[in-house]
Amino acid sequence: MRLDNNAICLAKGFKASALSCGLKKGARLDLALIYSEVPAVACGLFTRNRFAAAPVEICKKHLKGGQAQAIVVNSANANCYTGLRGLRVAGNTTGYAAKLLGLRETQVLVASTGIIGRQMDFARIKKALPKLAGSLDRKQGSKAAYAIMTTDTRPKALTKKFSAGDCVITVGAIAKGAGMIMPQMATMLCFITTDAAIEYHALKEALKEAVDGSFNAISIDGCMSTNDSVIILANGLAGNRILKAGQKDFLKFKSALKQVCGRLAAMIISDAEGATKFITIAVSGARNDTQAQKAAFSIANSNLFKAAVYGENRNLGRIVAAVGAARIEAGKQIGIQCSSLKKKSVSVKVDLRVGAGKATALTSDLTPEYVKINAGYN
């Protein structure tokens, strides 16, 4: 596994481009295009928020065929809670991009992150798309990693290679941080490209498992975004024997995907707004994994616990209270271990002492800086 800002273009046949179309202030990159030279097997996982953004709706529709070739992503405007007009903007974006790229509209996906409830100016997108499509390049992945940032302080891009038979398969991914990072902004996006040849259902299974163990295990403030999207394109250009569920090489693929997503999730937590601590909460001994996850998130979302960690204030009572509030089964006395709070990385282990269920949640501390950032002060 390797950090590489150009990660999204490292698998065979992938290109990217990015530019400033005026959604962000000050000519900063705010529109990106990710493109596969050939049709790719594709699937995605999206927010469960009831007010899912327009681009999420479009993606779900377009992904029904299990195939895509391009993704248009903008930052600075979430195109959420924008009604039919917002849906038209998202639809026009994929429609026009498809025309420029010579694709069917359903082969183009779209994602947005930024302010909720503000109409997006399609004129800006429309004006920018021809240039975006015209500047696709194998070396522009880094620009795309920057263009999807909101108040992330750094791009998040990772790549991993592994061999399958005589072939080398590459996985590359970029993400932008959750963590309600900027006033009115609140989304986690992740785009993954791979040249693996893989069967659709196997891809879906691998993505689900990787996301469950990574992006679904992190919480910065318990706020579920309207735009969260994880999308993977697998174009088959590595030339490997098609990966199917159960195969040895498929397990390798799953493992690679898990590692990439796990590390990106950790990078998101590390870059959480205002955070000074990286907190891992491992719950064991639960009745089952679901109950373990409830307990882990109850701790991860406890403002009291998170403020105590910020203050390096060893307060096991707050962990007990958070576990109790989750209302899951637990022994009368539970086991709690807590690493030194003086370090940047804090580990909390909780043993509920009733069964074999376990789960891990990652979070950051709650800091005055978090409040100031989200109050809109800087």
Give me the active site residues, please.
187
Measured CA to CA, the distance from residue 359 to residue 297 in angstroms comes to 9
Q: Which of 245, 304, 338, 354 binds its own copies (CB under 8 A)?
A: 304
Q: In whole angstroms, give the CA distance from residue 199 to residue 115.
A: 37
Smallest separation (angstroms) from its own copies to the CB of 289? 19
Number of chain positions touching its own copies (CB under 8 A): 60
> Which CB, 67 or 315, lies closer to its own copies?
315
| Residue 141 CB neighbours (<10 A) | 28
Under the binding rule (CB under 8 A), the answer on residue 316 touching its own copies is yes
> Using CB under 8 A, which of 20, 92, 184, 247 touches its own copies?
184
Residue closer to its own copies (CB basis): 134 or 376: 376
Report CA-CA distances (Å) from 48 to 14, 58, 70, 329: 29, 15, 24, 26
Please choose, out of 22-30, 78-86, 193-201, 248-256, the segment that lies near its own copies by the rule CB under 8 A.
78-86
User: Which residue matches tokens 């394109």?
Assistant: 233
Judged by CB under 8 A, the residue of 224, 335, 340, 356 near its own copies is 224
Asked if residue 92 binds its own copies (CB under 8 A), the reply is: no
Q: Quick check: 52 binds its own copies (CB under 8 A)? A: yes
- A 10 A CB-CB count for 37 gives 13
CA–CA gap between residue 299 and residue 319 (Å, rounded): 6
CB 80, CB 100: distance < 8 Å: no
Whose CA is closest to 53, among 122, 125, 110? 110
Q: Give the whole-angstrom CA distance, residue 211 versus residue 308.
A: 29
Query: Using CB under 8 A, which of the segments 3-11, 33-41, 99-107, 325-333 binds its own copies?
Result: 325-333
Per CB under 8 A, 331 contacts its own copies: no
The CA distance from 182 to 271, in Å, is 12
N-terminal to C-terminal alpha carbon distance within the chain: 35
66 binds its own copies (CB under 8 A): no
CA-to-CA distance for 347 and 326, rounded, in angstroms? 20
Task: By CB under 8 A, tell whether 326 contacts its own copies.
Answer: yes
Least distance between its own copies and beta carbon 364 (Å): 12
Q: Whose Cβ is closer to its own copies: residue 248's or residue 333's?
A: 333
311 contacts its own copies (rule: CB under 8 A): yes
Q: What whole-number distance in Å separates Cα of residue 369 and Cα of residue 86?
A: 33
Phi-psi region of 180 (alpha: psi -120 to 50; beta: other; left: phi over 0): left
Which of 48, 64, 248, 342 contacts its own copies by CB under 8 A? 48
Q: Which is nearer to its own copies, 117 or 355 (CB)?
A: 117
205 touches 43 (CB < 8 A): no
User: Which stretch, 164-172, 235-243, 244-252, 313-321, contacts its own copies (CB under 8 A)?
Assistant: 313-321
| Cβ 293 to its own copies shortest distance, Å | 16
Under the binding rule (CB under 8 A), the answer on residue 115 touching its own copies is: yes
Token pair belonging to 365: 């501390």
SS3 of residue 3 by DSSP: strand
What is the pattern of x (binds its own copies, CB under 8 A) and - over residues 2-21?
Answer: --------------------
Binding site for its own copies (CB under 8 A): 48-52, 78, 80-81, 83, 115-118, 180, 183-184, 186, 221-226, 301-304, 307-308, 310-311, 313, 315-318, 320-328, 330, 332-333, 366-377
